[in-house]
Chains A and B, each alone.
Chain A
Amino acid sequence: MTESPNLVAFTPERLETVKEIIARYPEGRQKSALLPVLHVAQEQWGWLSSEVMDYVAGILKIEPVEVYEVATFYTMYHLDPVGKHVIEYCRTGPCCLMGGEDVYGHLKKKLGIEAGETTADGKFTLKEVECLAACGWGPVFQIREQFYMNLTNEKVDQIIEDLSK
């Protein structure tokens, strides 16, 4: 195989961030940067393709398999393309006590999709997650860094409508 031009690359700003992350660890321990750097990668590309994982392996001077085994272990990394907004819905006990299952049913109906699916317009991906450490403010879901708490059917409608604009 001939060398193909590297189509995958961090933006200059993100590359700076990545360098700053790698510099946090002792000499020779740059593999410690893997989880944070994968978060930066996901921020840029939305999900982690094998090309992106290989690229990250190159930057950290580790084997691609070392990236794959980590990316497949931790549930925050998306291994398939996702919609513009990934809704990570808490399905664990305390949220369920607060009516989390009913609100979840409403959300699925509203979006017309099941867990793991993306809406036809590519706007929303629905993902079920375990406890988000916000049990006193349940039901809860998260979109990127934002927590949406004390959810009701009405609140869900409002959030989805606002994000659909």
Chain B
Amino acid sequence: MARKILTEHINVPGIETFDVYRKQGGYTAVEKAIKTMTPEEVVEEAKKSGVRGRGGAGFPMGMKWGFLAKPEGVPRYLVCNADESEPGTFKDHHLMKSIPHLLIEGMIISSFALGANKSFIYVRGELMYVIRILEKAIAEAKAQGFLGKNILGSGYDLELVVQPGGGAYICGEETALLESLEGKRGNPRNKPPFPAVKGLYQSPTVVNNVESISNMPWIINNGGDAYAQIGIGRSTGTKLISASGHIQKPGVYEIELGVSVEEFLNSDEYCGGIRKGHHLKALVAGGSSVPILPANLITKTAAGEDRLMTYESLSDGGFATGTMLGSGGFIVFDETACIVRNTWNFSRFYHHESCGQCSPCREGTGWMEKVLHRIEHGHGSMHDIDLLVDISKKIEGNTICPLGDAAAWPVASAIRHFRDEFVWHITNPQEATAPGAVYMGDMALV
């Protein structure tokens, strides 16, 4: 069995309560950090661990902490991004509802490290029941002296606030999240200045994902070096993978980074293989935004090496033949899935979720959705395929925030790897629009 850092105790009955969490060794890391370490030492452990942002960007968390400006007399803020909305991703939802104290313990340690006295957990509004779970856990931790004034007699004060969103994917982008937390529309900000200098209320701010922060208790208890020994190369530690689609056992799994895609997909410890009687056709490894890969490129790289669940291996080959680990939203498609329909579906998502600030994204996402809709519904022309590629290129890199890229990549990659299926929809509209029709061509299935 692989080592578990985040989910070791997740199935212990009553783990959502303070007492049971405490019995499993909970809050010892807070004691260790606050009583025996300086904030700088905590930051140092985070740096040594090499833990990277688990929301999707993969930026080293310790380094991000190192950028935080510390002007005299100005409050600093830590904001946890729990706005999990990337299609295919549901790990933070699972973690927060099952073991809320883990995130709270991580927030206390991280806030202490950054010198924040008021920290926020911004949770997508749809998860109001999770917000209530977190608020209950916060009240318990406060009653036990782990939150509030003079924590454990150290003189350090911290208040945790859980903030609900209002239903907007864009608020997962950190500056949109800060705007939203200030009570505004979720329009991403121009950078610079970065949040580390001017973030919430124009004060220095760090925004970290739920899973990233939840690693901190283990890192403090065991040391950043021990964490860095797990995984391969610059992909250190474990990662929560949200597995969905045509597999035997959808769910959230904690892997050691470096397990092969093949093993993750087929082993009974994880997905348990493609559903019975079916074959792998395509896979989105890191949430809807990352390039979709056909079966033959997901288990092996173009060079024929085993593809591993690491930041580096999944991106091997660049976008020509690779993809990204992203948020770890692992969406599996068997041969019954229609790539054109799915691409249209994802496009509709990005069009719906574009904040409308930048014209390439506002107009481009709508345009792509329209073109994909007509191809899917039997009214496409051959010119539409190149048109889609052209639009995607004109969105990519031309927007304030990465939503534009996130909208462009699924479309560009679907055409790159499944062009025949688009052509088939256009040249055989009657057949393609028949109920349940799926292109069977000569694509490689595994």
A interface with B by C-beta (< 8 Å):
24-26, 29, 31-36, 38-39, 60, 62, 66, 69-70, 73-77, 88, 91-94, 96-98, 129-138, 142, 144-147
Contacts and interface: CB of A to CB of B under 8 A. Distances in A.
A120 B229 CA distance: 62
A39 B126 CA distance: 11
- Which 9 pairs between the two chains have the least Cβ-Cβ distance? A74-B166, A76-B167, A34-B183, A31-B183, A136-B250, A135-B244, A75-B167, A73-B185, A131-B87
Contacts of A146: 129
A39 B125 contact: yes
Given A26-B201, A34-B183, A131 B86 contact: yes
27 contacts: A24-B159, A26-B201, A29-B201, A31-B184, A32-B163, A36-B164, A38-B166, A39-B166, A66-B183, A73-B168, A74-B166, A76-B125, A77-B166, A91-B345, A93-B88, A93-B331, A97-B333, A97-B337, A129-B167, A130-B85, A130-B349, A131-B86, A131-B349, A133-B93, A133-B127, A135-B88, A135-B242
Interface string B64-96: 000000000001000000001111111011000
Contact of A97 (B163, B183, B331): B331
B231 interface: no
Given A69-B185, A133-B84, A138 B127 contact: no
A26 B75 contact: yes
A27 B11 CA distance: 41
Given A26-B201, A76-B167, A131 B128 contact: no
B244 A97 contact: yes
B129 A133 contact: no
Interface string B318-360: 0000000000010101000100011001101100110100000
Contacts of B251: 136
Nearest to B84: A133
Contact of A136 (B92, B118, B201, B244): B244
Contacts of A96: 341-342, 345
A133 B183 CA distance: 23
Nearest to B249: A136
A101 B132 CA distance: 31
A127 B345 CA distance: 17
Contact of A132 (B92, B126, B183, B345): B126
A111 B337 CA distance: 28
B360 to A, nearest CB: 20
Contact of A73 (B90, B186, B245): B186
B211 to A, nearest CB: 13
Contacts of B90: 133-137
A94 B250 CA distance: 11
Contact of B165 (A32, A35, A92): A35
B163 A35 contact: yes
B315 to A, nearest CB: 22
Contact of B331 (A34, A36, A94, A134): A94
B392 interface: no
B57 interface: no
Contacts of A75: 166-168
Contact of A36 (B163, B168, B342): B163
B362 interface: no
Interface string B177-207: 0001111111000000000000001000000
Nearest to B247: A136
Contacts of B92: 133
B233 to A, nearest CB: 29
Interface string B234-255: 0000000011111000111000
Nearest to A76: B167
Nearest to B124: A133
B129 A94 contact: no
A20 to B, nearest CB: 11
A125 B207 CA distance: 36
A123 to B, nearest CB: 21
A92 B167 contact: no
B422 interface: no
A30 B359 CA distance: 32
A76 B182 contact: no
Nearest to A31: B183
A32 B245 contact: no
Contacts of B245: 94, 97-98, 135
B169 interface: yes
A136 B87 contact: no
Nearest to A72: B185
Given A39-B125, A135-B329, A33 B243 contact: no
B324 to A, nearest CB: 17
